[in-house]
C-alpha cells in the first residue's frame, strides 16, 4: 500500500491551540460560580414524578432535581410531599448560585404542582411570576376507528 504521510503541525500552531483550549477551560470553570440575580424554575409534574429544573434568564440549565434523585421510589415520587422536598433541594441550589428572584413555569397535571411552588416561596426565593405551560391539544390526533366485534 505504501507509506502514509502525516502532516506534523509546527510548534507555533501547537502553542496557539493549547492557549485556546486553556482559555476556554478557564471560562467554563468560572462561568457557573458567577452571581446570578434572576432565574427561571421549570416544574414538570407528571403522574409518576416531579422534576424541577433551574435555569438562568437566557434558559441555560444550571441544575435539576427530581423526586427520584432525592430518594423517593415508586408511587411516592408523585406525591405532593415529594414535590415539596424537591423544591427545597432546588431552593438550596438556587441560593448557592446567588439567585434571589425566580419566574416559575409549570408543566403537567401531577399532584405536586402547587406544593412545589409553595415550598419555593417559603424557602426565601422571591417568585416574580407563575406561568402554566402545559401543552393543550387543539383537535389533536385522529381517534381510532370503532372496534367491531
Map out the domains of the chain as residue ranges: 36-132
Q: Thinking of the domain 36-132, which architecture would CATH place it in?
A: 2-Layer Sandwich (3.30)
Residue 31 pLDDT more than 80? no
Residue 9 pLDDT more than 90? no
Torsion, CA 119, CA 125, CA 129, CA 134, rounded to 10: -40
In terms of DSSP bridges, do strands 101-108 and 38-45 run parallel, antiparallel, or are they unpaired?
parallel
What predicted TM-score, i.e. pTM, was given to this entire model? 0.73
The model's pLDDT over 100-132, given as tens digits with 9 standing for 90+, comes to 999 999 999 999 999 999 999 999 999 999 999
Q: Facing residues of 105 across strands?
A: 42, 131
Amino acid at each position: 500500500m505504501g507509506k502514509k504521510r502525516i502532516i506534523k503541525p509546527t510548534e507555533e500552531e501547537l502553542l496557539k491551540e493549547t492557549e485556546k483550549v486553556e482559555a476556554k477551560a478557564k471560562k467554563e470553570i468560572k462561568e457557573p460560580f458567577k452571581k446570578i440575580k434572576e432565574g427561571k424554575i421549570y416544574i414538570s409534574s407528571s403522574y409518576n414524578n416531579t422534576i424541577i429544573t433551574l435555569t438562568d434568564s437566557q434558559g441555560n440549565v444550571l441544575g435539576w432535581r427530581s423526586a427520584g434523585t432525592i430518594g423517593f421510589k415508586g408511587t411516592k415520587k408523585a406525591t405532593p410531599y415529594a414535590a415539596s422536598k424537591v423544591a427545597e433541594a432546588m431552593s438550596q441550589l438556587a441560593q448557592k448560585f446567588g439567585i434571589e428572584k425566580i419566574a416559575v413555569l409549570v408543566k403537567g397535571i401531577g399532584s405536586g404542582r402547587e406544593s412545589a411552588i409553595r415550598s419555593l416561596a417559603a424557602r426565601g426565593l422571591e417568585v416574580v411570576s407563575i406561568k402554566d405551560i402545559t401543552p393543550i391539544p387543539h383537535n389533536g390526533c385522529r381517534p381510532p376507528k370503532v372496534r367491531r366485534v
